[in-house]
Amino acid sequence: MTSPPITTANSQGARSPAGWRTPVGGAALALAGVGLVLLRDPHREGALGICPSLLLTGGYCPGCGSLRGVHDLATGQLGEAVGHNLLLVPALVWLVWWWVVQVGATTGRRLAGPPSSARFCWLLVAGLAVFTIARNLPGSPLAP
């Protein structure tokens, strides 16, 4: 058995560029998204184009209102954000939690991640279905 000289310090190196790519890239994309939303206020219809789901179906999908919600959060209006999309804040909590775990992994800390079991996935799908139906009912307070 000869040991080939290819298995270099690649596997567990804290602070390898590949390890930082996810947390840094994620943060950069998130900031770019917030910047875009602040630049072109999505409350103005058509400011950021049009949603293909809304265009095709005429109904609100579970993501509808989240861009307006992000704009509201960036300008400090939590209540408005919840009004546009009830799921936005919980989703952002999940995503920030996930991001913190990624940062922990790159710096050699193993942190408990956000829920992602099969059971959670199915609850999520069921919840999204109920939410979608509920927000499309006439006069629904969950509408974006």
Partner 1 sequence: MSDQYPPNPQDPYDPNVGGQPGYGSGYGQGGYPGAPSYGQQPNGPKPDNNLVWGILATVLCCLPFGIVSIVKASKVDGLWNSGQFAAAQQAAADAKKWAIISAVVGLTVSVGYIILAVLVGVSGA
- The residue ranges that bind partner 1 (CB under 8 A) are 1-2, 4-6, 8, 33, 44-46, 48-55, 61-64, 66-67, 85, 87-88, 91, 94-95, 98, 116-118, 120-122, 124-125, 128
Query: What's the min distance (Å) between Cβ of 126 and partner 1?
Result: 11
Nearer to partner 1, 87 or 142 (CB): 87
String of DSSP letters for 42-93: TTSTTBTB--HHHHHHSS--TTTTHHHHHHHHHTT-HHHHHHH-TTHHHHHH
Nearer to partner 1, 63 or 77 (CB): 63
Provide, rounded to whole angstroms, the least separation between the CB of residue 87 and partner 1. Answer: 6
CA dihedral 83, 116, 21, 64 (to 10 degrees): -20
Dihedral over alpha carbons 87, 92, 95, 97 (to 10 degrees)? -110
What torsion, rounded to 10 degrees, do the Cα atoms 85, 122, 134, 132 define?
Answer: 60
| Closer Cβ to partner 1, 2 or 76, answer by number | 2
Give 77 or 131: the residue with its C-beta nearer to partner 1: 131
DSSP state letter for 117: S
Q: How far is the CB of 31 from partner 1 (least distance, A)?
A: 14
Alpha-carbon torsion 129, 83, 58, 46, what sign? Answer: negative
Least spacing, CB of residue 105 vs partner 1, in Å: 11
Nearer to partner 1, 45 or 112 (CB): 45
Give the shortest CB-14-to-partner 1 separation in angstroms.
Answer: 18
